[in-house]
Structure 1
Amino acid sequence: MPDPRDTRDLESFAAALADELPGHWRSEYHRHTAYPDQFSLAEDVWDLNLVSAAVAEDVLEHDAVLTREDGARLYVTGRPRQDEEYLVAAMAPPGIAPEAFRGVREPDGIAVPDDPFRAADDITADLLPRYDKALAQVQHNAQGFAEQQAAPAGAGAERVVMTWADDGRLVARPGSEEAAAILRENGFVHDEQHAYVLSGDDTAVQGRSVRSAGARLSALGIRVMMRNPPSKPALDTTPGTAPTPAKPGARVR
Protein backbone atom coordinates (compact mmCIF):
# COMPACT_ATOMS: atom_id res chain seq x y z
CA MET A 1 0.00 0.00 0.00
CA PRO A 2 1.15 3.60 -0.53
CA ASP A 3 2.80 5.49 2.28
CA PRO A 4 0.03 7.49 4.02
CA ARG A 5 2.61 10.00 5.21
CA ASP A 6 3.17 11.29 1.65
CA THR A 7 0.90 14.31 1.73
CA ARG A 8 2.48 16.27 -1.10
CA ASP A 9 0.03 17.79 -3.58
CA LEU A 10 1.68 16.33 -6.65
CA GLU A 11 -1.35 16.97 -8.86
CA SER A 12 -1.23 20.74 -8.29
CA PHE A 13 2.56 20.84 -8.49
CA ALA A 14 2.61 19.01 -11.84
CA ALA A 15 -0.11 21.27 -13.29
CA ALA A 16 1.77 24.40 -12.22
CA LEU A 17 5.04 22.98 -13.54
CA ALA A 18 3.45 22.32 -16.94
CA ASP A 19 2.45 25.99 -17.13
CA GLU A 20 5.99 27.16 -16.33
CA LEU A 21 7.96 24.97 -18.75
CA PRO A 22 8.85 26.43 -22.18
CA GLY A 23 6.41 25.44 -24.92
CA HIS A 24 2.98 23.92 -24.41
CA TRP A 25 2.64 21.07 -21.91
CA ARG A 26 -0.35 19.26 -20.41
CA SER A 27 -0.36 17.36 -17.13
CA GLU A 28 -2.03 14.02 -16.36
CA TYR A 29 -2.10 12.86 -12.74
CA HIS A 30 -2.30 9.22 -11.56
CA ARG A 31 -2.85 7.79 -8.07
CA HIS A 32 -1.79 4.22 -7.28
CA THR A 33 -3.49 1.87 -4.86
CA ALA A 34 -0.86 -0.87 -4.98
CA TYR A 35 2.90 -1.14 -5.63
CA PRO A 36 2.64 -2.87 -9.08
CA ASP A 37 0.41 -0.06 -10.39
CA GLN A 38 3.35 2.33 -10.64
CA PHE A 39 5.15 0.29 -13.30
CA SER A 40 2.70 0.80 -16.19
CA LEU A 41 4.12 4.29 -16.74
CA ALA A 42 7.45 4.02 -14.93
CA GLU A 43 8.67 1.31 -17.31
CA ASP A 44 9.19 4.08 -19.89
CA VAL A 45 11.30 6.24 -17.55
CA TRP A 46 14.51 7.01 -19.47
CA ASP A 47 16.88 6.91 -16.54
CA LEU A 48 19.50 4.62 -15.04
CA ASN A 49 20.15 6.42 -11.79
CA LEU A 50 18.11 8.48 -9.32
CA VAL A 51 14.58 8.07 -10.68
CA SER A 52 14.79 4.44 -11.76
CA ALA A 53 16.15 3.58 -8.30
CA ALA A 54 13.15 5.25 -6.63
CA VAL A 55 10.72 3.40 -8.93
CA ALA A 56 12.36 0.04 -8.27
CA GLU A 57 12.93 0.37 -4.53
CA ASP A 58 10.05 2.47 -3.18
CA VAL A 59 6.28 2.42 -3.13
CA LEU A 60 5.17 5.56 -4.96
CA GLU A 61 1.71 6.74 -4.05
CA HIS A 62 1.21 8.75 -7.21
CA ASP A 63 2.86 10.21 -10.28
CA ALA A 64 2.13 12.57 -13.15
CA VAL A 65 3.09 12.70 -16.81
CA LEU A 66 3.71 16.01 -18.55
CA THR A 67 3.33 15.84 -22.34
CA ARG A 68 4.69 18.48 -24.71
CA GLU A 69 2.94 19.39 -27.95
CA ASP A 70 5.53 17.42 -29.96
CA GLY A 71 4.96 14.25 -27.89
CA ALA A 72 7.93 14.52 -25.50
CA ARG A 73 7.01 13.33 -22.00
CA LEU A 74 8.28 13.97 -18.47
CA TYR A 75 7.61 11.68 -15.50
CA VAL A 76 7.06 13.44 -12.15
CA THR A 77 6.75 11.86 -8.70
CA GLY A 78 7.59 12.64 -5.08
CA ARG A 79 11.11 11.95 -3.93
CA PRO A 80 11.04 9.24 -1.24
CA ARG A 81 12.10 10.47 2.22
CA GLN A 82 12.57 14.02 0.91
CA ASP A 83 9.31 15.87 1.58
CA GLU A 84 10.41 19.10 -0.10
CA GLU A 85 11.59 17.60 -3.38
CA TYR A 86 10.17 15.92 -6.47
CA LEU A 87 11.78 13.68 -9.05
CA VAL A 88 11.49 14.49 -12.77
CA ALA A 89 12.69 12.21 -15.56
CA ALA A 90 12.42 12.01 -19.33
CA MET A 91 10.26 9.25 -20.78
CA ALA A 92 11.43 7.25 -23.79
CA PRO A 93 9.41 7.68 -26.99
CA PRO A 94 6.98 4.79 -27.57
CA GLY A 95 6.93 2.44 -30.53
CA ILE A 96 10.65 2.65 -31.36
CA ALA A 97 12.80 -0.47 -31.76
CA PRO A 98 15.40 -1.04 -29.00
CA GLU A 99 18.20 -0.87 -31.59
CA ALA A 100 17.54 2.86 -32.03
CA PHE A 101 18.55 3.48 -28.40
CA ARG A 102 21.90 1.75 -28.76
CA GLY A 103 24.78 4.16 -28.15
CA VAL A 104 22.50 6.94 -26.90
CA ARG A 105 23.14 7.93 -23.31
CA GLU A 106 20.08 8.09 -21.06
CA PRO A 107 19.03 11.67 -20.18
CA ASP A 108 18.93 10.80 -16.47
CA GLY A 109 16.36 12.57 -14.32
CA ILE A 110 16.89 15.13 -11.58
CA ALA A 111 15.52 16.12 -8.17
CA VAL A 112 13.78 19.51 -8.08
CA PRO A 113 12.42 21.69 -5.26
CA ASP A 114 8.70 21.78 -4.49
CA ASP A 115 8.51 25.29 -5.97
CA PRO A 116 7.25 24.86 -9.59
CA PHE A 117 8.95 28.08 -10.71
CA ARG A 118 12.39 27.02 -9.49
CA ALA A 119 11.76 23.46 -10.66
CA ALA A 120 10.93 24.67 -14.17
CA ASP A 121 14.19 26.63 -14.26
CA ASP A 122 16.18 23.54 -13.23
CA ILE A 123 14.45 21.32 -15.79
CA THR A 124 14.88 23.86 -18.59
CA ALA A 125 18.56 24.38 -17.84
CA ASP A 126 19.53 20.76 -17.16
CA LEU A 127 17.13 17.98 -18.14
CA LEU A 128 15.41 19.31 -21.27
CA PRO A 129 18.60 20.02 -23.27
CA ARG A 130 19.85 16.46 -22.63
CA TYR A 131 16.41 15.01 -23.33
CA ASP A 132 15.95 16.86 -26.63
CA LYS A 133 19.42 15.83 -27.78
CA ALA A 134 18.88 12.15 -26.95
CA LEU A 135 15.37 12.20 -28.41
CA ALA A 136 16.56 13.65 -31.72
CA GLN A 137 19.29 11.03 -32.05
CA VAL A 138 16.98 8.11 -31.23
CA GLN A 139 14.38 9.31 -33.72
CA HIS A 140 17.00 9.63 -36.44
CA ASN A 141 18.39 6.20 -35.60
CA ALA A 142 14.92 4.74 -35.93
CA GLN A 143 14.36 6.54 -39.21
CA GLY A 144 17.67 5.26 -40.54
CA PHE A 145 16.80 1.66 -39.66
CA ALA A 146 13.45 1.99 -41.41
CA GLU A 147 15.05 3.43 -44.51
CA GLN A 148 17.64 0.67 -44.65
CA GLN A 149 14.91 -1.95 -44.56
CA ALA A 150 12.74 -0.20 -47.15
CA ALA A 151 15.40 0.96 -49.63
CA PRO A 152 16.38 -1.28 -52.54
CA ALA A 153 20.01 -2.28 -53.02
CA GLY A 154 22.16 0.60 -54.20
CA ALA A 155 19.66 3.26 -53.14
CA GLY A 156 20.40 6.17 -50.82
CA ALA A 157 23.99 6.74 -51.93
CA GLU A 158 23.91 10.38 -50.81
CA ARG A 159 23.96 11.16 -47.11
CA VAL A 160 24.21 14.12 -44.74
CA VAL A 161 26.34 13.63 -41.63
CA MET A 162 25.31 15.68 -38.60
CA THR A 163 27.82 15.85 -35.74
CA TRP A 164 27.16 17.20 -32.25
CA ALA A 165 29.71 19.82 -31.18
CA ASP A 166 30.82 20.14 -27.55
CA ASP A 167 28.94 23.45 -27.21
CA GLY A 168 25.60 21.91 -28.25
CA ARG A 169 25.65 23.06 -31.88
CA LEU A 170 24.97 20.61 -34.68
CA VAL A 171 27.37 20.61 -37.64
CA ALA A 172 26.10 19.19 -40.94
CA ARG A 173 28.00 18.42 -44.14
CA PRO A 174 25.68 18.07 -47.14
CA GLY A 175 26.78 16.29 -50.28
CA SER A 176 24.78 18.38 -52.73
CA GLU A 177 23.35 21.85 -53.18
CA GLU A 178 19.85 20.39 -52.92
CA ALA A 179 20.63 19.04 -49.45
CA ALA A 180 22.32 22.30 -48.47
CA ALA A 181 19.20 24.25 -49.46
CA ILE A 182 17.06 22.09 -47.18
CA LEU A 183 19.46 22.69 -44.30
CA ARG A 184 19.33 26.46 -44.85
CA GLU A 185 15.52 26.39 -44.92
CA ASN A 186 15.55 24.70 -41.53
CA GLY A 187 17.81 27.09 -39.67
CA PHE A 188 21.31 25.83 -40.51
CA VAL A 189 23.77 28.63 -41.23
CA HIS A 190 26.65 28.26 -43.64
CA ASP A 191 30.07 28.41 -42.02
CA GLU A 192 33.24 28.28 -44.09
CA GLN A 193 35.01 26.08 -41.56
CA HIS A 194 32.18 23.81 -40.40
CA ALA A 195 29.95 23.62 -43.50
CA TYR A 196 26.44 24.19 -42.04
CA VAL A 197 25.82 24.87 -38.33
CA LEU A 198 22.58 24.76 -36.32
CA SER A 199 22.63 26.71 -33.06
CA GLY A 200 22.01 24.87 -29.78
CA ASP A 201 20.79 27.95 -27.90
CA ASP A 202 17.20 26.65 -27.89
CA THR A 203 17.16 22.84 -27.84
CA ALA A 204 13.42 22.60 -28.57
CA VAL A 205 13.83 24.69 -31.73
CA GLN A 206 16.97 22.73 -32.60
CA GLY A 207 15.12 19.42 -32.26
CA ARG A 208 12.27 20.59 -34.50
CA SER A 209 14.72 21.84 -37.11
CA VAL A 210 16.58 18.53 -37.15
CA ARG A 211 13.39 16.51 -37.50
CA SER A 212 12.04 18.76 -40.25
CA ALA A 213 15.31 18.71 -42.22
CA GLY A 214 15.61 14.94 -41.75
CA ALA A 215 12.12 14.35 -43.11
CA ARG A 216 12.76 16.55 -46.16
CA LEU A 217 16.10 14.89 -46.89
CA SER A 218 14.69 11.40 -46.45
CA ALA A 219 11.90 12.18 -48.91
CA LEU A 220 14.62 12.79 -51.50
CA GLY A 221 16.40 9.53 -50.64
CA ILE A 222 19.19 11.30 -48.75
CA ARG A 223 20.21 9.46 -45.59
CA VAL A 224 20.87 11.41 -42.39
CA MET A 225 23.52 10.16 -39.97
CA MET A 226 23.90 11.54 -36.42
CA ARG A 227 27.34 11.36 -34.82
CA ASN A 228 29.22 12.52 -31.74
CA PRO A 229 32.59 14.27 -32.09
CA PRO A 230 35.30 11.58 -32.34
CA SER A 231 37.35 13.16 -29.55
CA LYS A 232 34.54 13.02 -26.97
CA PRO A 233 32.07 10.18 -27.53
CA ALA A 234 29.86 11.33 -24.68
CA LEU A 235 26.82 9.35 -25.68
CA ASP A 236 28.82 6.14 -25.59
CA THR A 237 30.10 6.77 -22.08
CA THR A 238 29.06 3.96 -19.78
CA PRO A 239 26.97 5.40 -16.91
CA GLY A 240 27.45 4.46 -13.30
CA THR A 241 26.26 1.15 -11.94
CA ALA A 242 22.54 0.89 -12.55
CA PRO A 243 20.28 0.03 -9.60
CA THR A 244 18.83 -3.46 -9.57
CA PRO A 245 15.03 -3.27 -9.92
CA ALA A 246 13.16 -4.72 -7.01
CA LYS A 247 10.45 -6.19 -9.25
CA PRO A 248 10.63 -7.66 -12.76
CA GLY A 249 7.99 -5.18 -13.89
CA ALA A 250 10.33 -2.20 -13.52
CA ARG A 251 12.54 -1.81 -16.50
CA VAL A 252 14.75 0.97 -17.77
CA ARG A 253 16.55 1.56 -21.01
Structure 2
Amino acid sequence: MRHQHDHDFEHDVEGFATVLAGELPGHWTVDHREHANRAEQMNRAGAVWDMDTVADAIARHPLGHDAILARDDGTRLYVTGRPSHEDDFLVAAIAPPLPPAAFEGVREPDGVVVPADPFAAADAVATGLLPRYEAALAQVQDNAARLNSRTPVTLTWVGPDLHATADVSEAVRTVLTEHGFVPSDTGHTFVLNGDDTALQAQAVRAVGARLATHGTHLALRHPAPRTGPDTATATPVRHNRPAARVR
Protein backbone atom coordinates (compact mmCIF):
# COMPACT_ATOMS: atom_id res chain seq x y z
CA MET A 1 0.00 0.00 0.00
CA ARG A 2 1.27 3.44 -0.88
CA HIS A 3 1.74 6.10 1.75
CA GLN A 4 1.95 9.81 1.13
CA HIS A 5 5.17 11.50 2.16
CA ASP A 6 6.67 14.95 2.06
CA HIS A 7 10.29 13.87 2.35
CA ASP A 8 12.74 15.15 -0.25
CA PHE A 9 14.80 12.08 -1.24
CA GLU A 10 17.35 13.97 -3.35
CA HIS A 11 20.83 12.90 -2.15
CA ASP A 12 19.23 10.58 0.44
CA VAL A 13 20.12 7.15 -0.90
CA GLU A 14 19.41 5.39 2.39
CA GLY A 15 15.96 6.94 2.85
CA PHE A 16 15.02 6.37 -0.78
CA ALA A 17 16.18 2.74 -0.70
CA THR A 18 14.33 2.07 2.55
CA VAL A 19 11.00 3.30 1.21
CA LEU A 20 11.60 1.56 -2.13
CA ALA A 21 12.21 -1.75 -0.34
CA GLY A 22 8.87 -1.42 1.43
CA GLU A 23 7.04 -0.92 -1.86
CA LEU A 24 8.53 -3.88 -3.75
CA PRO A 25 6.96 -7.36 -3.66
CA GLY A 26 8.43 -9.62 -0.99
CA HIS A 27 10.42 -8.89 2.16
CA TRP A 28 13.61 -6.87 1.66
CA THR A 29 16.45 -5.72 3.89
CA VAL A 30 18.53 -2.60 3.22
CA ASP A 31 22.30 -2.33 3.64
CA HIS A 32 23.47 1.27 3.16
CA ARG A 33 27.17 2.11 2.92
CA GLU A 34 29.24 5.25 2.53
CA HIS A 35 32.54 4.94 0.66
CA ALA A 36 35.76 6.69 1.57
CA ASN A 37 37.31 5.97 -1.83
CA ARG A 38 36.70 4.50 -5.27
CA ALA A 39 38.18 1.14 -4.29
CA GLU A 40 35.44 0.63 -1.70
CA GLN A 41 32.85 1.62 -4.28
CA MET A 42 34.16 -0.85 -6.86
CA ASN A 43 34.36 -3.70 -4.36
CA ARG A 44 30.78 -3.07 -3.37
CA ALA A 45 29.47 -2.79 -6.93
CA GLY A 46 31.61 -5.46 -8.55
CA ALA A 47 28.72 -7.85 -9.20
CA VAL A 48 26.22 -5.29 -10.52
CA TRP A 49 24.54 -6.98 -13.50
CA ASP A 50 24.45 -4.12 -15.97
CA MET A 51 26.24 -3.01 -19.11
CA ASP A 52 24.50 0.32 -19.58
CA THR A 53 23.83 3.47 -17.53
CA VAL A 54 24.44 1.99 -14.08
CA ALA A 55 27.72 0.32 -15.04
CA ASP A 56 28.88 3.55 -16.68
CA ALA A 57 28.12 5.59 -13.56
CA ILE A 58 29.95 3.12 -11.31
CA ALA A 59 33.01 3.07 -13.55
CA ARG A 60 33.27 6.81 -14.21
CA HIS A 61 32.04 8.60 -11.10
CA PRO A 62 32.72 8.61 -7.36
CA LEU A 63 29.23 7.85 -6.06
CA GLY A 64 29.96 8.34 -2.38
CA HIS A 65 27.38 5.90 -1.08
CA ASP A 66 24.93 3.22 -2.15
CA ALA A 67 22.47 0.68 -0.80
CA ILE A 68 21.94 -3.00 -1.47
CA LEU A 69 18.43 -4.40 -1.14
CA ALA A 70 18.23 -8.13 -0.44
CA ARG A 71 15.08 -10.25 -0.69
CA ASP A 72 14.44 -13.55 1.09
CA ASP A 73 14.84 -15.55 -2.14
CA GLY A 74 18.37 -14.22 -2.75
CA THR A 75 17.47 -11.45 -5.19
CA ARG A 76 19.63 -8.37 -4.64
CA LEU A 77 19.34 -4.84 -6.02
CA TYR A 78 21.92 -2.07 -6.11
CA VAL A 79 20.69 1.49 -5.52
CA THR A 80 22.65 4.72 -5.82
CA GLY A 81 22.22 8.32 -6.88
CA ARG A 82 22.58 9.27 -10.54
CA PRO A 83 25.62 11.51 -11.08
CA SER A 84 24.75 15.05 -12.26
CA HIS A 85 21.03 14.30 -11.93
CA GLU A 86 19.97 15.09 -8.38
CA ASP A 87 16.34 14.14 -8.99
CA ASP A 88 17.16 10.62 -10.28
CA PHE A 89 18.37 7.34 -8.81
CA LEU A 90 19.87 4.24 -10.40
CA VAL A 91 18.67 0.73 -9.61
CA ALA A 92 20.25 -2.46 -10.98
CA ALA A 93 20.22 -6.15 -10.20
CA ILE A 94 23.22 -7.91 -8.69
CA ALA A 95 24.37 -11.08 -10.43
CA PRO A 96 24.14 -14.40 -8.57
CA PRO A 97 27.41 -16.06 -7.45
CA LEU A 98 27.75 -18.55 -10.31
CA PRO A 99 30.72 -19.51 -12.55
CA PRO A 100 31.47 -16.96 -15.30
CA ALA A 101 30.80 -19.61 -17.93
CA ALA A 102 27.17 -19.74 -16.81
CA PHE A 103 26.69 -16.14 -17.99
CA GLU A 104 27.92 -16.77 -21.53
CA GLY A 105 25.25 -15.90 -24.08
CA VAL A 106 22.94 -14.34 -21.47
CA ARG A 107 22.02 -10.69 -21.89
CA GLU A 108 22.39 -8.53 -18.80
CA PRO A 109 19.12 -7.37 -17.21
CA ASP A 110 20.26 -3.76 -17.38
CA GLY A 111 19.22 -1.44 -14.59
CA VAL A 112 16.82 1.50 -14.68
CA VAL A 113 16.92 5.23 -14.11
CA VAL A 114 14.11 6.12 -11.71
CA PRO A 115 12.80 9.39 -10.27
CA ALA A 116 13.40 10.41 -6.66
CA ASP A 117 9.83 9.27 -5.94
CA PRO A 118 10.27 5.75 -4.45
CA PHE A 119 6.66 4.82 -5.23
CA ALA A 120 7.03 5.53 -8.95
CA ALA A 121 10.44 3.87 -8.80
CA ALA A 122 8.90 0.72 -7.30
CA ASP A 123 6.57 0.44 -10.30
CA ALA A 124 9.50 0.72 -12.73
CA VAL A 125 11.51 -1.89 -10.85
CA ALA A 126 8.62 -4.33 -10.34
CA THR A 127 7.36 -4.18 -13.94
CA GLY A 128 10.67 -3.76 -15.78
CA LEU A 129 13.87 -4.62 -13.95
CA LEU A 130 12.70 -7.57 -11.85
CA PRO A 131 11.07 -9.47 -14.76
CA ARG A 132 14.25 -9.01 -16.84
CA TYR A 133 16.35 -10.18 -13.91
CA GLU A 134 14.21 -13.26 -13.32
CA ALA A 135 14.40 -14.25 -16.99
CA ALA A 136 18.19 -13.82 -17.07
CA LEU A 137 18.56 -15.63 -13.75
CA ALA A 138 16.65 -18.65 -15.08
CA GLN A 139 19.03 -18.80 -18.05
CA VAL A 140 22.23 -18.65 -16.02
CA GLN A 141 20.92 -21.17 -13.50
CA ASP A 142 20.12 -23.55 -16.35
CA ASN A 143 23.61 -22.99 -17.79
CA ALA A 144 25.15 -23.62 -14.37
CA ALA A 145 23.24 -26.88 -14.02
CA ARG A 146 24.57 -28.03 -17.38
CA LEU A 147 28.11 -27.05 -16.40
CA ASN A 148 27.87 -28.98 -13.13
CA SER A 149 27.00 -32.12 -15.05
CA ARG A 150 30.29 -32.02 -16.95
CA THR A 151 32.85 -34.72 -16.32
CA PRO A 152 35.71 -33.44 -14.13
CA VAL A 153 39.26 -33.28 -15.42
CA THR A 154 41.07 -36.12 -13.67
CA LEU A 155 44.73 -35.88 -12.67
CA THR A 156 46.42 -39.18 -11.90
CA TRP A 157 49.65 -39.60 -9.98
CA VAL A 158 52.23 -41.64 -11.88
CA GLY A 159 55.27 -41.64 -9.65
CA PRO A 160 56.00 -37.99 -8.82
CA ASP A 161 54.29 -36.73 -11.99
CA LEU A 162 50.66 -35.86 -12.64
CA HIS A 163 48.96 -37.08 -15.81
CA ALA A 164 45.79 -35.63 -17.33
CA THR A 165 43.97 -37.36 -20.16
CA ALA A 166 44.28 -35.67 -23.54
CA ASP A 167 40.61 -36.42 -24.23
CA VAL A 168 39.47 -32.95 -23.13
CA SER A 169 38.18 -29.81 -24.82
CA GLU A 170 40.50 -27.37 -26.53
CA ALA A 171 39.84 -24.82 -23.79
CA VAL A 172 40.94 -27.28 -21.10
CA ARG A 173 44.03 -28.23 -23.10
CA THR A 174 44.97 -24.56 -23.26
CA VAL A 175 44.60 -24.22 -19.49
CA LEU A 176 46.76 -27.29 -18.89
CA THR A 177 49.57 -26.25 -21.24
CA GLU A 178 49.62 -22.68 -19.93
CA HIS A 179 50.35 -24.08 -16.47
CA GLY A 180 53.19 -26.43 -17.31
CA PHE A 181 51.53 -29.61 -18.58
CA VAL A 182 53.22 -31.04 -21.68
CA PRO A 183 52.00 -33.77 -24.05
CA SER A 184 53.38 -37.21 -23.28
CA ASP A 185 55.37 -39.18 -25.85
CA THR A 186 52.28 -41.20 -26.72
CA GLY A 187 50.09 -38.11 -26.96
CA HIS A 188 47.42 -39.76 -24.81
CA THR A 189 48.05 -37.62 -21.73
CA PHE A 190 49.40 -34.28 -20.56
CA VAL A 191 52.12 -34.53 -17.93
CA LEU A 192 53.05 -32.14 -15.13
CA ASN A 193 56.57 -32.85 -13.92
CA GLY A 194 56.94 -33.47 -10.19
CA ASP A 195 60.61 -32.59 -9.75
CA ASP A 196 59.63 -29.39 -7.93
CA THR A 197 56.67 -30.27 -5.72
CA ALA A 198 56.03 -26.65 -4.70
CA LEU A 199 55.73 -25.51 -8.32
CA GLN A 200 53.63 -28.56 -9.10
CA ALA A 201 51.18 -27.77 -6.29
CA GLN A 202 51.01 -24.13 -7.39
CA ALA A 203 50.23 -25.19 -10.96
CA VAL A 204 47.47 -27.55 -9.83
CA ARG A 205 45.82 -24.80 -7.78
CA ALA A 206 46.00 -22.41 -10.73
CA VAL A 207 44.54 -25.01 -13.10
CA GLY A 208 41.70 -25.70 -10.67
CA ALA A 209 40.84 -22.01 -10.44
CA ARG A 210 40.91 -21.60 -14.22
CA LEU A 211 38.78 -24.68 -14.86
CA ALA A 212 36.19 -23.40 -12.40
CA THR A 213 35.58 -20.47 -14.74
CA HIS A 214 34.79 -23.03 -17.46
CA GLY A 215 32.29 -24.77 -15.21
CA THR A 216 34.33 -27.87 -14.47
CA HIS A 217 36.70 -29.02 -11.75
CA LEU A 218 39.70 -31.19 -11.00
CA ALA A 219 39.70 -34.67 -9.51
CA LEU A 220 42.96 -36.11 -8.15
CA ARG A 221 43.46 -39.83 -7.85
CA HIS A 222 46.16 -42.40 -7.39
CA PRO A 223 46.42 -45.29 -9.83
CA ALA A 224 44.98 -48.57 -8.64
CA PRO A 225 47.69 -50.70 -7.04
CA ARG A 226 48.94 -53.52 -9.17
CA THR A 227 48.01 -56.99 -8.12
CA GLY A 228 51.24 -58.84 -7.34
CA PRO A 229 52.02 -62.40 -8.38
CA ASP A 230 50.58 -65.26 -6.38
CA THR A 231 52.58 -65.49 -3.19
CA ALA A 232 51.75 -69.14 -2.41
CA THR A 233 54.78 -71.05 -1.16
CA ALA A 234 56.50 -72.87 -4.00
CA THR A 235 57.15 -76.55 -3.64
CA PRO A 236 60.90 -77.12 -3.46
CA VAL A 237 62.40 -79.13 -6.26
CA ARG A 238 63.92 -82.40 -5.10
CA HIS A 239 67.01 -83.68 -6.88
CA ASN A 240 67.54 -87.42 -7.00
CA ARG A 241 70.92 -88.30 -5.57
CA PRO A 242 72.66 -91.56 -6.35
CA ALA A 243 72.40 -94.10 -3.54
CA ALA A 244 75.34 -94.17 -1.24
CA ARG A 245 77.68 -97.08 -1.90
CA VAL A 246 78.07 -99.65 0.86
CA ARG A 247 81.48 -100.84 1.29
TM-score category (smaller protein): 0.5 to 0.7
Match of 1:83, SS? Answer: strand
Which one of 41, 45, 49 corresponds to residue 46 of structure 1?
49
The alignment status of 1:107 with 2:132, answered yes or no, reads no
What code does the residue aligned with 2:139 have? Answer: Q
| SS of residue matched to 1:148 | coil
Instruction: Answer yes or no: is 1:134 the counterpart of 2:136.
Output: yes
Paired with 2:120 and 2:49, the residues of 1 have a C-alpha distance of 22
Distance 2:108 2:94 in 1: 10
Give the drift of 1:41. Answer: 1.7
Counterpart CA distance in 2 for 1:23 and 1:135 is 17
> Letter of the aligned partner of 1:148 in structure 2?
R
Partner in structure 2 of residue 187 of structure 1? none
Following the alignment from structure 1 to structure 2, what is the Cα–Cα distance between the partners of residues 136 and 15? 27
1:2-151 to structure 2, matched below 5 A, reads 8-94=11-97, 96-149=98-151
1:14 partner amino acid: A
| CA distance in 2: counterparts of 1:145 and 1:102, whole angstroms | 11
One-letter identity of the residue aligned with 1:119: A
Structure 2: gaps spanning 5 or more residues: 1-8, 153-247
Give the CA deviation at 1:148: 2.6
CA contact (8 A) 2:32 2:68 kept: yes
Tell me how large the CA RMSD over aligned residues is: 1.4
| In 1, Cα distance between equivalents of 2:75 and 2:54 | 17
Measure, in 2, the Cα distance between the counterparts of 1:83 and 1:46: 23
Which runs of structure 2 are paired with 1:191-202 in the superposition (5 Å)?
none
**Cα distance, 1:7 vs. partner?**
6.5
RCO comparison, higher one (Cα < 8 Å, 6+): 1
Q: Residues 185-234 of structure 1, C-alpha deviation per residue, up to 9 Å, x if partnerless?
A: xxxxxxxxxxxxxxxxxxxxxxxxxxxxxxxxxxxxxxxxxxxxxxxxxx
Q: Which runs of 4+ in 1 moved over 3 A?
A: none
Structure 1: segments with no counterpart, 5+ residues: 1-5, 151-253
Deviation at 1:149, TM superposition (A): 3.1
Secondary structure at 2:49 match in 1 = coil
Q: Which residue of 2 aligns with 1:246?
A: none
Greater radius of gyration (CA) = 2
Partners of 2:129 and 2:10 lie apart in 1 by 26
Quickly say closer, same or farther: Cα 1:140–1:114, change in 2 above 3 A.
Answer: same
Q: Structure 1 residue 24: deviation in Å? A: 1.4
Number of aligned residues: 144
Instruction: Write the deviation string for residues 141-184 of structure 1: whole angstroms up to 9, x where unpaired.
Output: 1111112337xxxxxxxxxxxxxxxxxxxxxxxxxxxxxxxxxx
**How far apart are the structure 1 equivalents of 2:83 and 2:76?**
22
Paired position in structure 1 for 2:186: none
CA distance in 1, matches of 2:125, 2:10: 23
Q: Name the CA distance, whole Å, in 2 between partners of 1:149 and 1:69.
A: 33
Q: Residues 67, 149 of structure 1: CA spacing in aligned structure 2 closer, same or farther, 3 A cutoff?
A: farther
Deviations 1:98-150 (A, max 9, x none): 11000100001110011111100011111010000001111111111112337
Read off the aligned partner of 1:124 and give its amino acid letter.
A
What amino acid is aligned across from residue 106 of structure 2 in structure 1? V
Structure 2 residue identity aligned to 1:83: E
- Pairing of 1:93-242 with structure 2 (within 5 A): 93-94=96-97, 96-149=98-151
Cα distance between partner residues in 1 of 2:10 and 2:40: 19
Alpha-carbon distance change, 32 to 46 in structure 1, aligned in 2, over 3 angstroms: same
Shift in CA distance, 7/13, structure 1 to aligned 2, threshold 3 Å: closer
